[in-house]
Structure 1
Amino acid sequence: MKKKLQTKFSTRQYMLSKDFEIYYYSDKVLSPVQPHTHDYYEFYFFLEGDIDLCVDDKCYRIKHADFVLIPPGTSHNPSFINESKPYRRFVLWISKEYLNELMQISKDYGYIMQHVLITKNYVFHNDIINFNAMQSMIFSLIEEIKSERFGREAEIFLRLNSLLMYLNRIAYDHNTNKPFKTEKALYLNLCDYINEHIEEDLSLEKLASEFYVSKYYIAHAFKNNIGISIHQYIMKKRLQICKDAILGSEIISNVYRRYGFNDYSSFYRAFKKEYGISPKEYKNKYEISKNI
C-alpha cells in the first residue's frame, strides 16, 4: 500500500516543524517503547498490528480503524501483544500553537481536543467506511507534502485542515449519537479516486479492494447519492476526457486505448450514444470550425 509514502521509524519525540508533522510507519521489528509524554497533540491511526496502547496507566486494545488522540503532557506507550504481526499506522503531530491559530478561525477545530481533555476518552472506534475516508485524506496530504506542485503550501494547509475538521465531526457525532453519513463520505472519496485514476482499472472489484468494502455496497452507495450507476459515471468521465483529447494532435486510437476502451467499436458506440456524433465526425467538425 503506497510504500513510497512510508517513513522509516524514528524514536524522536519532538517536533522539527512549528505546525505539524505526519508519518506513515510500517514496522516488522518491534522494540519496547517506554512511557513518555510530549508537548503537542498526537493522533494515531491504526492500520495493522496486535497491540495495547497504554494511556495514563490504562491500556486499550487497539484494532484496525481505530484512531487515538494523545493530548500534550499525557503519558503513553504501545505494548505489543503479538510481535510477529507488522505494526502499521499513521502518526500526526499538531502543535498547540497551530491549533490555537485554527481556533481563531473556528472554535470547531478544537472540539475533539477539548473533548478528550475533559472526558479522558482517548480512543475512537470507527466503521471501515469512515476510516477509509480518513485514510484517503491522509494519503492525499502526504502525497502533497512530498510533491513540488504549484500551490503546494496552500494545498497542504487546505488538506490538513480538512482532515482535522473531519476528525472533529467524527468525535462530535460519536459524542452526540449522530451517526456520520458514511455513504456520503464513501461516494465523495470514490469520485476523487476515479478522477485521479481515470486511466487505470476502475472495475468494482478494484474499487472494493481499494476501499475495503464490498462491490455491492459501493454500487448501492454511489447510485443513492449520485443518481447514476458508478459504471455510468466512469463512462461519462472517460468520454469527456476522450472528447477533449481527440481535438489535439494525438490519433484517436491512442486516446481511446489510454482511457479504458478495449476496441474502437465499443468506444464508437459509447461516444455516439453520449454525443450523437462519431469521434471522427466530432474531430472533423471541430477542425472545420477552426478554419472558418
Structure 2
Amino acid sequence: MKSKVNIFRYNQNMDSEDFEIFYYKNIVKNEIPIHVHDFYEVCVFLSGNIKYKVNDLEYKLRYGDVILIPPDEEHGPVFLDTKSTYERIVLWISKSYMEKISTMKSDLSLCFNKNSIYYCNYLHPNAPDCKYIISMLDQFIDEHYRDDYASDIYSTSILGLMLAKFNRMSMNQVDCISNGVGNGFLMSYIVDYINKHYNEKITLDYLEKYFFVSKYYISHEFKKLLGISIGQYITHKRLENAKKLMHQGLLPSKIYEECGYNDYATFYRAFKMVNNMTPSEYMKKISKNSKITNITNKI
C-alpha cells in the first residue's frame, strides 16, 4: 500500500454524511469490542493473525479477504495473538448515500441485504480480483485525501465501482452453487427446481419427498451454501419477478397470484419488508424515473 496510514480510532461514529475510508496498520494493544453501528462497513484484510466475527460466524482471514457488514449487525476482530501487525482498509457508507448511488437496475446494497439471495458477509477474491480491489482502494484513499481538482469525482466514482465489484463477486458465489460447482450438486438441483416453480407452493416436506433427502439436511445445507433459507430464496425469486412485471406496467394488485402469493396482503407485507417500500410506492418510483428519462431524451 502506498497510502498514508490513519491513526486508529475506537470511536465508531461517522463524521461524514456520505462515506469515510481509512487505511490502518497497527499493533492493537487493546481488544476491539464486538460492536454495531447504523451504517454499512467494508473491511479488506491485508495482514495480521485474526478471525473476524460477524454475528455467530467467524472467518479466519487471509490476504485480500473482504468482510461486508450491513447496518445493525454485530461484528469485530478476534485477535489470535497480540504481536502481529493488523493491517486493513475500512470503508464506511451511510444508508442515505448507499441509496443515493444505487439505481433502479442496480441496488448496490444487495450483498449487504439479509433478505437478498446475494447477501454475503465474506468474500475470498481470486488473485486477479484481489490485485484489482487493493489497487483501486489504494487509488481511492489517495484521491479521497487530496484537495486536487476533481478528486471528489474520482473518489465517488471508485466507490461505486468497488461496491459494484463486491456485488458481482457475491452474485458469482451464488451462481457457482446454482451451476453445481464445488460441493453444491444437490443444492444446484434444488435451486434449479425452485427457479422453475417459485410461483407454486413449495415446502420442505415437498422437497424431501421430491428429492428423497431429509428436509433437515436440505435446510441445513441450503443455508450453509447460500447463506439464506429456502423460504428467503423463494421470496427473493417471487419479488424479483414482481418487480419485472411492474416495470412492464402491470399493477401490483394484478400480479400477486402470478408471483406465487394466495392473497394481496401477504404479497404486500413481503414486498414492503424486503424493499422498505410498498408495491404502490415502488410503482410511483418507476413512473418518476421514467418521466425523468423521457425528459432527458427530449433534451
Contact 1:49-1:87 within 8 A present in 2 as well: yes
1:57: how far off?
A: 2.8
Match of 2:28 in 1: 29
Counterparts of 1:1-292 in structure 2, within 5 Å, are 1-2=1-2, 4-104=3-103, 106-114=105-113, 121-177=120-176
Match of 2:249 in 1: none
CA distance in 2, matches of 1:59, 1:88: 18
Q: Which secondary structure state, in structure 2, belongs to the residue aligned with residue 107 of structure 1?
A: coil
Contact 1:116-1:122 within 8 A present in 2 as well: no
- Spell out, residue by residue over 1:153-181, the C-alpha distance to the aligned partner (whole angstroms, 9 max, x if none): 22222121111111111111122129xxx
- Spell out, residue by residue over 1:211-270, the C-alpha distance to the aligned partner (whole angstroms, 9 max, x if none): xxxxxxxxxxxxxxxxxxxxxxxxxxxxxxxxxxxxxxxxxxxxxxxxxxxxxxxxxxxx
Greater Rg by CA: 1
- Spell out, residue by residue over 1:8-45, the C-alpha distance to the aligned partner (whole angstroms, 9 max, x if none): 10111010011111100001233112111000011110
**Which runs of 5 or more structure 1 residues have no equivalent in the other structure?**
179-292
Q: Which secondary structure state, in structure 2, belongs to the residue aligned with residue 170 of structure 1?
A: helix
- Spell out, residue by residue over 1:104-159, the C-alpha distance to the aligned partner (whole angstroms, 9 max, x if none): 36434232122686676411111222111000110111111122221222222212
**Which runs of 5 or more structure 2 residues have no equivalent in the other structure?**
178-299
Q: Which secondary structure state, in structure 1, belongs to the residue aligned with residue 9 of structure 2?
A: coil
Contact 1:69-1:116 within 8 A present in 2 as well: no
- AA aligned to 1:21 is E
CA distance in 1, matches of 2:97, 2:79: 32
Q: How many pairs were matched up? A: 177
CA distance in 2, matches of 1:169, 1:121: 11
1:55: how far off?
A: 1.4
- AA aligned to 1:123 is Y
Call closer, same or farther: CA 1:75–1:62 in 2, change over 3 Å: same
Q: Which secondary structure state, in structure 1, belongs to the residue aligned with residue 113 of structure 2?
A: helix
CA distance in 2, matches of 1:53, 1:29: 14
Q: Which secondary structure state, in structure 2, belongs to the residue aligned with residue 140 of structure 1?
A: helix
CA distance in 2, matches of 1:120, 1:172: 9
CA distance in 1, matches of 2:104, 2:56: 35
Taking structure 2 as the reference length, what is the TM-score of the superposition?
Answer: 0.55
Contact 2:50-2:80 within 8 A present in 1 as well: yes
CA distance in 1, matches of 2:118, 2:97: 23
- AA aligned to 1:148 is D
CA distance in 1, matches of 2:26, 2:115: 28
CA distance in 2, matches of 1:117, 1:16: 29
Q: Which secondary structure state, in structure 2, belongs to the residue aligned with residue 109 of structure 1?
A: coil
Give the percent of matched residue pairs that are identical in Structure 1 and Structure 2. Answer: 30
Match of 2:211 in 1: none
Taking structure 1 as the reference length, what is the TM-score of the superposition?
Answer: 0.56
Match of 1:199 in 2: none
- AA aligned to 2:134 is Q
